[in-house]
Amino acid sequence: MVGVEQMLRYTLLAGDRALATYAHEEAVDHFIRGLEAKGIDPDGRTPAADAEAAGLLFGLSRARSALFIFRPGNVRDAVANLRSAFEYHVAAGDNERAVEIAQSLPRIPVGERGGLGDVMEVALGITPTGSSARGQLLANHGWIAGIEEIDYPTSTRSFQ
């Protein structure tokens, strides 16, 4: 019989494999199964208690993001999942992983508000100046400020 820890490890691997093969609905199912086994609500409003939960939430965010076009309601949940994973890694002092997560922010469809401007601000604050990661984060920040928040001066500064 497979123990819970082993099941969680395999669930995370299966979800990542499903993402890699563009089986996004299958990935959603794997990540939700893992979160439920950990007693975490997959709506993303429950903070990640450990790195494993953060990994499951981040995977679920990526899978849900890929399904925006088919399921527009996934936007809020995907953002909440990403935010929980990001906040866990920032609090744990794992800035490298937090920045990786921020670099993968979903492109929110025009007309939707993701509310990720504050995540971008924190990510920019922990990213080394002159790094390629900072360049990508600035581009994401410009997109969020301009398209979602309708803050053109901030958007312009980020793109410059």
Domain with 125, as residue range(s), is: 4-159
What string of pLDDT tens digits covers the 160 residues of the chain?
568 788 889 999 999 999 999 999 999 999 999 999 988 888 767 788 899 999 999 999 999 888 876 666 677 888 889 899 999 999 999 999 999 999 987 766 655 666 788 888 899 999 999 999 999 898 888 888 787 777 888 888 888 7
Number of domains comprising the chain: 1
Residue 11 tokens read as 């669930």
Q: pLDDT tens for residues 37-47?
A: 988 888 767 78
Q: pLDDT tens for residues 15-34?
A: 999 999 999 999 999 999 99
Residue 41 tokens read as 């609500």
State how far the Cα of 73 lies from the Cα of 132, in Å rounded to an integer: 32
* Nearest Cα to Cα of residue 31 among 70, 3, 62: 62
